[in-house]
Amino acid sequence: MSISMTTNDTSENTLDMGFSALRESYKTGASTPASVMADIRERAAEYADHNIWIHLLSEVEQAVWLDALKDKDMASHPLWGIPFAIKDNIDLAGIPTTAGCVAFAYTPDVSAQVVQQLIDAGAIPVGKTNLDQFATGLNGTRSPIGACHNSFNYDYISGGSSSGSAVSVALGLASFSLGTDTAGSGRIPACFNNLVGVKPSIGLLSATGMLPACRSLDCMTIFAYNTDDANIALAVAEGFDARDGYSRQNPFDNQARHYGLRTGSLKVGVIPAHQLKFFGDESYEKAYLQTLDLLKEQGFAFQEIDYAPFDEIAQLLYEGPWVSERYIATQPLIDENPDAIFPVVREIIAPGGKPPATSLFKAQYRINDLKQICLAQMAQVDCLLTPTAGRHFTVAEMLAEPIKRNSELGYYTNFMNLIDLASIAVPTVMTDNDMPFGITLVGPTFSDRMLMSIANRIQQALPLKKGALEAMAMPSNTTPVGNNQTIDVMVCGAHLEGQPLNWQLTERGATLKAKTTTAPNYRMYALAGGPPLRPGLILDQDKGDAIEVEIWSVPTANFGSFVAGIPAPLGIGKIKLADGSQVAGFICEPYGIEGAQDITHLNGWRAYLASLR
């Protein structure tokens, strides 16, 4: 079977490399994992001048994993036969890890924890991909084997440091890939190659078997065509690893089942016009403004945030003491054989042995001060939205001013890991010169599935092709999901604003969302006892009325303790509101109204209290 993956071939032989399409091809017998891998090797030879691979696996090297599929049921192995690429600072057993430096190379006996989990789920490694040496750079030109060229235009950069990982997927040589991200390496290449780039919360994916650039900041990343595929790969790859000192347990509300299609209105933070930077790229500026206009039509409401504290944090990544972590990662090579390191990379890393500990502590103090400002702004919106990059440089432009241009590439990305945020890069439109443009969504730690669900909504509203291929990338998951960071609770009595028990909400961080009424199907009673006086709400389809209520948004983490403190005969159930929607709210057990006063005719607790004066 011949598989064509060029950008201009729409023939019947073109194979869709998306997860669901590829699995369907296997089920029908139209292709096999072995035939797909053989065709990938054939196609990879056509792109040899793109410098995608450091080690493309041979048929013999892949045989062990292909043979293992015979004993794996496709239904219970979500990545059965799915080809994936691995950035060459991540270990694959028996294959050298070079980090883009031959003098540094070693051959691991075991695969990185994430790689092994993907293989166990049926995924097949294609090879180890090119990168900015020692994962130092955002551009894809800092490799001794040559710059990794863009999948759309050979003259442009691919983005880095995870350059080969992104280009391999964009050209259909893998269905997804692993990268890493310290400063933007899992996002910039996604933007430049029309892919989704997931930069998960630090510690969500194990770092065991990954050579870090900055161990305290690094995380593995995933490149995929759409959010559906990215969620499947992330679900397999994630997991706590006690061997990794930075690994963390994934909380319940960030599990894979919470990914879907984000519905309802969204309030999104954006950067004011005077703080945006496009570095002379008018096509990217136009694409960004076009993206905002399109998203407004899809129910996105924008609120400006002050980007200055985010930018100050970003500058500390390369200009501050964190360069010492890069120095640690390359020892003893940089001490004993510095000429083995790519010149620009050496220029960046070499000073890392000099900063004193006092510089680190001073920088940490400043970051914590700025983090408070940043998180306070983020708490006012569902997420932040930035351009992923301000300009797409040519290879020639990058090589002419490598450090300056690389710094410009990181203007929108460098701050995120320093203050422990999650993000996802998502393509939105093509520029006037037919190059990809995309945005990045940013949220707090462990907001990964929330961000992916918003990105799903964007991809479904603004459909684009899969990388540089012809097949469309639009995800198909339409399961509605809302904001899982808070839970809306209806209150109707002592918890109303200004009432004696309102502190039980406000001290848990709850905020007043709306004042409304129930559907006209409820009776309200003033219960015996107190203080404080309390009402009881009972459903009565025949003799009910509309009751004035308030809706409060309670942080999910504090909802359980709030409910646990509610005394009998009251409890929390589903209440129908005037607009027909249902919300969690106070209800009363029927036995509780024995001896109680029916106050339904007053249509609310405040009116009842006024009647007592």
Query: Would residue 14 count as lying in a domain?
Result: no
Q: Are residues 602 and 537 in the same domain?
A: yes
pLDDT at 9: 39
For the domain that residue 556 is a member of, what is the CATH number? 3.10.490.10
Residues 465, 592 within the same domain: no
Q: What is the pLDDT of residue 1?
A: 29
Asked which of 422, 456, 481 is the last residue of a domain, the reply is 481
Same domain, 424 and 510: no
Residue of 158, 161, 247, 447 marked active site:
161
pLDDT at 204 over 60: yes
Q: Which domain holds residue 560?
A: 486-611
Measured CA to CA, the distance from residue 467 to residue 464 in angstroms comes to 8
76 counts as catalytic: no
What's the pLDDT score for residue 485? Answer: 84
Question: Element (H or E) spanning 236, and its range?
Answer: helix 227-237
**What single DSSP character describes residue 504?**
H
Question: Is 476 in the same domain as 492?
Answer: no
* pLDDT at residue 591 in the model: 95
Residue 12 lies in a domain: no
Strand, helix or coil at 116? helix
Q: pLDDT by residue (tens digit) across 310-365?
A: 999 999 987 778 888 888 888 889 888 989 898 999 998 888 888 888 888 999 99
pLDDT score of 484 more than 90: no
Catalytic residue flag (residue 27)? no
pLDDT tens by residue, 222-240: 999 999 999 999 999 999 9
Q: Is the pLDDT of residue 262 over 60?
A: yes
In a domain, 559, yes or no: yes
Assess whether 446 and 501 both reside in one domain.
no
- On whether residue 333 sits in a domain, the answer given is yes
Q: What is the CATH number of the domain that holds 387?
A: 3.90.1300.10
Does residue 107 register a pLDDT over 90?
A: yes
Which pLDDT band, with edges at 50, 70 and 90, does 8 fall under?
A: very low
More confident residue, 559 or 8: 559
Digit-coded pLDDT (tens) for 140-178 = 999 999 999 999 999 999 999 999 999 999 999 999 999
In whole angstroms, what is the distance from residue 577 CA to residue 517 CA? 6
Residue 437 lies in a domain: yes
Task: Let me know how many helices (H) and strands (E) the chain has, helices first.
Answer: 19, 21
**From CA 500, how far away is CA 112, in angstroms rounded?**
56
404 is catalytic: no
Strands 300-304 and 266-270: parallel
183, 421 Cβ separation under 8 angstroms: no
Final residue of a domain: which of 481, 504, 539?
Answer: 481
Boundary of a domain, candidates 481, 513, 529: 481
Same domain, 443 and 543: no
DSSP bridge partners of 552: 489, 512
Token couple for 15: 């194979």
pTM > 0.85: yes
Q: Tell me: pLDDT of 408 over 90.
A: yes
Average pLDDT, the chain: 95
In 3D space, the residue among 165, 188, 159, 164 whose CA is nearest the CA of residue 177 turns out to be 165
pLDDT of residue 350: 87
> Residue 466 falls within a domain, yes or no?
yes
Residues 443 and 542 in one domain: no
In angstroms, the Cα distances linking 521 to 67, 488, 535, 596 are 63, 20, 16, 19
327 and 192: one domain?
Answer: yes
Number of domains in the chain: 2
Taking residues 29-48, what's their average pLDDT?
Answer: 97
Mean pLDDT of all residues in 259-269: 95
Distance CA 556, CA 554 (A): 6
Residue 546: the pLDDT is 98
**Residue 464 maps to a domain:** yes
Residue of 163, 165, 185, 447 marked catalytic:
185
**What are the backbone angles phi and psi of residue 196, rounded to the nearest 5°?**
-85, 135
Residue 14 confidence (pLDDT): 60
Q: Cα–Cα distance between 313 and 377 in angstroms, integer?
A: 15
Q: Cα separations (Å) of 597 from 299, 491, 591? A: 45, 19, 13
Identify whether residues 393 and 540 lie together within a single domain. no
